[in-house]
A and B are shown apart, each in its own frame.
Chain A
Amino acid sequence: MNHCLVIGQHNVGKTLLSFRLAQLCGMKSVFVLRELDSDPHLQQVIGVNEAIHSIIDGTNPRIVDVQTIGIGMSQEMGQPAILYDSVGLSEKFDDGLYRRRQMARTLDLFVSCDLVLHVVDASTLVTEKLSLIDTQIKSFARARRVPYVLVANKADLLSMRRQHRSHLTLRQDKPLFVSAKMDQGLTPLKHVLERTNMVNYSYPFWMRGVLN
């Protein structure tokens, strides 16, 4: 059971991507747990398709809590995984202290998770470079030596030419261009999930994170 963290700035499509991944892994409904400040956390089982539709239509109220989404992998892979759909990281705190605590929770997960899916919004890459926060997220994941994937979301908004250009400049980070809205290019992510799950399971728990 791997703990995978979906991290990134806000409004880059982390929530939509998480639900898309659950859908891709064959989940019809998922167990979702919202980590609120109040003690009993909010737990519910929600339909994946409805969740996706409501995000795309914009009828979904914006969520500023860390939420845990449990997904099962395909039959042949066996091991399930947990996705943490985190809150967007940013320097501005319009929503005050609550938001800040949720971001601290995200950092907590960042130092302990087994896989990092770092989502950036491909359409707002300024001259195809990562912003300061994204660069820092990337270098922390590198320093921790945790399995890491850079996901450039919203590729549907880019012209072919611009996408090609970003590909070139981000070359060392091996970005994965996807569109969560159009459901394009997500299959490799599922394979990453499956592979890291398998790798981790061939070692006893206490050796994890030591060997890579």
Chain B
Amino acid sequence: MCAYTTITPVKRVITLQWRRSPFDVTKTETIIDGFSRGKLSLSTSLEQLRQVYEGRFQRTIQNPASVVETLEPMSKMNTVDPVLTKQQLLAPLHDLIGLSGVKQSIDELYAYLAVQSLRSQAGLKLNKTVLHMIFSGRPGTGKTTVARLLGPILRSLGILSEGHVIEVERADLVGEYIGHTAQKTRALLERAMGGILFVDEAYAIARGGEKDFGREAIDTLVKGMEDRNHDLVVILAGYEREMKYFLSLNPGLSSRFPLHVFFPDYSEHELLQIAAVMVRERQYHLAPDATLSLRQQLRREQVREDFSNARTVRNIVERAVRRQAVRVMEQSEPTRRELMTLVAADFRGETDHESLFGDRSAQCWEDFA
């Protein structure tokens, strides 16, 4: 299996972010907040804001070394006992079929974060962790499933306060009018605060070219990620090749997403395992010849351009279930056993293919794992 993870050096990311906002954002926020609550007059607040910025330019000139941040401890770290909860936390992830490379990446990430929390308890210096991720891989390889499992894991590590996952795609981010997009994107970021914003088929955002509002969505997303440095994880997901191209078009983006997780296609054996679980869940079982026929069908599908892994398996199984129903109806009095059995004939013939984009009904298949 050819899964891999790259965790690019985190330090480089920090310097980039500090170039964009070298001054203290909390300072300007405090001033504006003071003004809105009537503590400061307009002219005092304008004057204080000005001083923040004047100071910013002087400081960066005098002391360029100050870009390397010393870090504040992460929130709520002390409440976790990483060793005890590890098994329970990662169990749902390890129960997934296949995905050994992905599991290993998440294990590493978990270990890293857990050690960070131990270090903070010991009063040691912390590395700033940027946890925005890119999940690349073909449809149906489990990207959404893993994202949903990641929410609770990050929550119990104290990285996120809620751990919920908001799943969006291009149509949710990009609006129809100028100015509409920024609004939509900002609202979604707001909803995702404390959790994970999962952008499916992320490369499609930029699909419309230069004049498209997709650009605005990306800008707003990046700006939002910067304004809300903590308590939000953004995951961009999509085909590997398209994601690479997308990132090469937006150089500012790739530095903000230091974690790349690759989701390989399932092997034939894993696909059969998945099918077996799906069949069992629906309270059916496979006749011996049906397994063979299913295997042949999968081989034929696997070479297709639009093969979408677990999703295709689900389609095959559901189709077989429908054909079995037709077959059973023709019998006069089907037995309980006949009602449950899928035979080879149910698996023959063409499978339906859904469109590759915007399929959101994949929810059914994560329950099998």
Q: How far is the CB of A68 from chain B (nearest CB, A)?
A: 5
Please count how many residues in chain A sit with their CB below 8 Å of the partner chain's CB atoms.
46
- Per-residue B-contact encoding for A68-100, CB less than 8 Å = 1, 0 else: 111110000011111000000111000001001
Residues of chain A contacted by B223 (CB below 8 angstroms): 205
Q: Which of A32, A69, A80, A206 contacts B19 (CB 8 A)?
A: A206
B222 close to A (CB within 8 Å) = yes
Contact A111-B49, Cβ < 8 Å, known A205-B252, A210-B20:
yes
Contacts A80-B178, A140-B49; A68 near B38 (Cβ below 8 A) = no
Q: Does A132 contact B (CB under 8 A)?
A: yes
**Structural contact, A43 and B35, CB atoms closer than 8 A:** no
Interface residue from B43, B222, B252 paired with A133 (Cβ < 8 Å)? B43
**Residues of A close to B252: CB separation below 8 A:** 204-207
Bound-complex Cα distance A1 to B212 (A): 10
- Map CB proximity to B onto A141-170 as digits: 1 under 8 Å, 0 otherwise: 001110000000000000000000000000
User: Are A104 and B20 in contact (CB-based, < 8 A)?
Assistant: no
A136 contact set on B, CB distance < 8 A:
43, 46-47, 50
B211 at the interface (CB under 8 A from A): yes
Say yes or no for B41: interface residue by CB 8 A criterion. Answer: yes
What chain A residues lie within 8 Å of B216 (beta carbons)?
Answer: 1, 80
Contacts of A180 in B (CB 8 A): none
**Whole-angstrom distance between the alpha carbons of A89 and B35 in the complex?**
12
Q: B28 interface residue, CB < 8 Å from A?
A: yes
- Which residues of chain B are near A100, meaning CB under 8 Å? 35-36, 38
In the complex, A45 Cα to B255 Cα: how many Å? Answer: 37
A51 on interface, CB distance cutoff 8 Å: no
CB of A140 within 8 A of CB of B50, answer: yes
Q: Measured between alpha carbons, how far is A151 from B222 in the docked complex, in Å? A: 31
Contact with A along B24-63 (1 / 0, CB 8 A): 0000100011011010011101110110011001000000
**Is A206 within 8 A of B20, CB to CB?**
yes
Q: A33, A45, A97, A209: which contacts B20 (Cβ < 8 A)?
A: A209
- Residue on B nearest A140 in the bound complex, by CB: B50
The answer to whether A71 and B47 touch (CB under 8 A), given A104-B35, A133-B42, is no
Contact A78 B35 (CB under 8 A): no
> What is the 8 Å Cβ interface bit string for chain A, positions 191-212, against chain B (1 contact, 0 not)?
0000000000000111111100
- The complex places the Cα of A209 from the Cα of B33 at a distance, in Å, of 24
Quick one: which of A80-127 are within 8 Å of B by CB?
A: 80-82, 89-91, 97, 100-101, 103-104, 107-108, 110-111
Chain B contacts with A in 174-207, Cβ cutoff 8 A:
175, 177-180, 182-183
B residues within 8 A CB of A91? 41-43
Tell me, yes or no, whether A16 is within 8 Å of chain B by CB: no
Cβ-defined contact, B43 with A132, below 8 A: yes
Chain A residues lying within 8 Å of B107, measured Cβ to Cβ, are: none
Nearest chain B residue, comparing its CB with the CB of A82: B179
- Complex partner residue of A144 from B53, B177, B183, B251, CB under 8 angstroms: B53
B35 contacts A103, C-beta separation under 8 Å:
yes
Taking A31-B180, A70-B180, A207-B19 as contacts, is the C-beta distance between A103 and B42 under 8 angstroms?
A: yes
CB neighbours of A30 from chain B (8 A): 177-178
Q: What size tier do the contact residues of chain B reach?
A: 35 or more
Contact between chains at A1 and B19 (CB < 8 Å): no
CB contact under 8 A between A137 and B179, given known A97-B38, A103-B35, A206-B252: no
Chain B residues with CB under 8 Å of A54's CB are none
Q: Residues of B contacting A205 with CB < 8 Å?
A: 20, 219, 222-223, 252
Q: Are B177 and A107 in contact (CB under 8 A)?
A: no
CA–CA, A177 to B234, complex, Å?
46
Expressed in whole angstroms, the Cα–Cα distance for A136 and B48 within the complex equals 10
Bound: A86/B285 CA distance, A: 66
A212 to chain B, nearest CB (A): 12
**Counting CB contacts under 8 A, is B362 at the interface?**
no
Is there contact, CB below 8 Å, between B35 and A82?
A: no
Contacts of B100-147 to chain A: CB distance below 8 A: none
In whole angstroms, what is the CA distance A72 to B251 when docked? Answer: 25
Which residues of chain B are within 8 angstroms of A89 by Cβ–Cβ distance?
A: 42
* B38 surroundings in chain A (CB, below 8 A): 97, 100
B95 interface residue per 8 A CB criterion: no
A41 within 8 Å of B (CB atoms): yes
CB–CB A78/B211 < 8 A: yes
Q: Does B333 belong to the interface (CB within 8 Å)?
A: no
Q: Is B16 an interface residue (CB 8 A)?
A: yes
Q: A184 an interface residue at 8 Å Cβ cutoff?
A: no
Decide if B210 is an interface residue (CB 8 Å cutoff). yes
Complex Cα spacing A111 to B46, Å: 10
With A and B bound together, what is the CA distance between A81 and B36 in angstroms?
A: 28
Q: A11 an interface residue at 8 Å Cβ cutoff?
A: no
Chain B residues proximal to chain A, CB less than 8 Å = 16-17, 19-20, 28, 32-33, 35-36, 38, 41-43, 45-47, 49-50, 53-54, 57, 175, 177-180, 182-183, 210-211, 213, 215-216, 219, 222-223, 250-252, 255
8 closest residue pairs by CB, A with B: A70-B179, A70-B178, A31-B177, A104-B36, A204-B252, A143-B53, A136-B46, A1-B216
Binding site for B on A (CB under 8 A): 1, 30-33, 41, 43, 45, 68-72, 78-82, 89-91, 97, 100-101, 103-104, 107-108, 110-111, 132-133, 136-137, 139-140, 143-145, 204-210
Query: What are some 7 contacts across the A-B interface (CB < 8 A)?
Result: A31-B180, A78-B211, A104-B36, A107-B45, A145-B53, A205-B252, A206-B16
